[in-house]
């Protein structure tokens, strides 16, 4: 039985409405996944996150490996038990963090040796190790170990990373030992469209249950990212979910759905929330601004989140000014709900074959979030 079912394809765009079935339940797509880097969605409880409408969350293999360690996670009952989350969880492979956070000691075709960003301890990571760790953590969707090249970089460096990612994907597939998990391949190649085509075709031959686009939202800008997405999704099979990793702003999401992407994750809702930046349909609200000092309105009039039902902008500004943790918690909650409301509107418009109108309405409106 296939894990992904298409319900509807928008008549005028590449947007898709689907259902992804996992070991911990179904996920309605397109979907946005809140990020719990170290095993928790910062500033929120699992119950709060669930109330926003989130159906799946993300945890980070690299951070789990460094602290508390995969053995500890196993001893306390696995990732779902540790995170107190009984719905689907996706774990990334740790490849992005290995190549971006650390002092690499050695990188070759076998894998990498790197020094921990916490205490300098040396670790080895390769396709087999990354897959084994994710098998043991117990997430519902796991990712192949890949090499994410920096942006910009020399074409030879980009090509080497892309070719390694292809070879490592096959090794991950061979090492994968938990049939309750869906292993996704990751397409690399930067913004080089020929490399994206080559990488995609090689991964599709391996017949993964889902495919991700990695190596984007790393500085190339919105237009180049969407051009790369539009080019790549054409090469991907229609009956498998497509995941754009680490993206993004509301505009990024709407435009990527327009070109056939089904899954997203990003730290923006909670990271911005902790910094008094709120997402609204009218644009960003910066709650530290003095104009909110006596503002009795909620962050957003038509939002049904706990924050908007109970707190004024003035109260939230006060909490930030005095260092009260309730401020970051509440704005993170609002932002997470904003993203889930956005995804619900996207799904509804696709079902009604109205997504082209939705894109036209939101593109200019949401451009402010990319400035």
Burial label for 211, CB within 10 Å (0-12, 13-18, 19+), is buried
Rounded Cα distance, 93 and 309, in Å: 38
Rounded Cα distance, 103 and 242, in Å: 31
> How far apart are the two ends of the chain, measured CA to CA in Å?
44
Is there a contact between 20 and 3 (Cβ–Cβ < 8 Å)? Answer: yes
Concerning whether 10 is annotated as a catalytic residue, the answer is no
Report the 10 Å Cβ neighbour count for 229: 25
- In the set 140, 146, 262, 265, the catalytic residue is 265
How big is the CA angle at 155 (ends 150 and 156), to the nearest 5 degrees? 100
Report the 10 Å Cβ neighbour count for 141: 28
Q: Which helix (H) or strand (E) holds 243?
A: strand 242-244
Concerning whether 92 is annotated as a catalytic residue, the answer is yes
- In the set 92, 146, 252, 262, the catalytic residue is 92
Quick one: which of 235, 239, 247, 252 has its CA closest to 18?
239
User: DSSP code of 224?
Assistant: H
Q: Is the peptide bond before 248 cis (omega within 30 degrees of 0)?
A: yes
User: DSSP code of 213?
Assistant: E
Per DSSP, what are the bridge partners of residue 6? Answer: 18
Rounded Cα distance, 29 and 43, in Å: 25
Buried b (16+ CB within 10 A) or exposed e, 325-358: ebbbbbbbbbbbbbbbbbbeebbebbeeeebeeb
What secondary structure does DSSP assign to 335-359, as a single string?
HHHHHHHHHHHHHHHHHTT-HHHHH
Q: Name the residues annotated as catalytic.
A: 92, 265
């Amino acid at each position: 039985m296939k894990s992904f079912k298409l319900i509807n394809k928008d008549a005028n765009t590449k947007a898709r409405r689907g259902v992804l079935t996992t070991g911990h339940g179904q996920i309605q797509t397109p979907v946005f996944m809140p990020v719990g880097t170290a095993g928790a969605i910062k500033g929120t409880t699992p119950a709060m996150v669930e109330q926003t409408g989130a159906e799946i969350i993300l945890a980070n293999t690299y951070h789990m490996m460094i602290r508390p360690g995969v053995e500890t996670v196993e001893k306390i009952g696995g990732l779902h038990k540790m995170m107190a989350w009984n719905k689907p969880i996706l774990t990334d492979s740790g490849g992005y963090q290995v190549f971006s956070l650390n002092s690499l000691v050695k990188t070759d075709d076998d894998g990498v040796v790197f020094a921990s960003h916490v205490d300098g301890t040396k670790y080895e990571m390769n396709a087999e190790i990354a897959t084994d760790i994710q098998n043991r953590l117990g997430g519902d969707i796991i990712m192949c170990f890949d090499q994410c090249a920096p942006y910009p970089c020399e074409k030879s460096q980009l090509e080497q990373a892309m070719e390694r990612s292809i070879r490592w994907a096959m090794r991950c597939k061979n090492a994968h030992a938990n049939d309750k998990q869906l292993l996704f391949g990751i397409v690399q190649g930067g913004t080089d469209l020929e490399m994206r085509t080559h990488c995609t075709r090689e991964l599709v031959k391996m017949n993964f249950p889902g495919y991700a686009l990695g190596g984007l939202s790393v500085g190339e800008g919105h237009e180049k990212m969407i051009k790369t997405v539009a080019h790549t999704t054409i090469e991907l099979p229609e009956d498998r979910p497509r995941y754009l990793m680490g993206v993004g702003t509301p505009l990024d999401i709407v435009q990527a759905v327009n070109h056939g992407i089904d899954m997203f994750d990003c730290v923006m809702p909670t990271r911005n929330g902790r910094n008094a930046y709120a997402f609204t349909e009218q644009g960003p609200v910066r709650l530290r601004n003095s104009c909110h000092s006596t503002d009795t309105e909620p962050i957003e009039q038509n939002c049904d989140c706990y924050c908007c039902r109970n707190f004024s902008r003035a109260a939230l500004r006060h909490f930030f000014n005095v260092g009260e943790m309730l401020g970051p918690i509440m704005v993170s909650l609002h932002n997470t709900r904003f993203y889930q409301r956005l995804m619900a509107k996207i799904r509804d418009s696709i079902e009604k074959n109205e997504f082209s109108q939705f894109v036209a309405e939101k593109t200019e409106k949401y451009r402010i979030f990319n400035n």
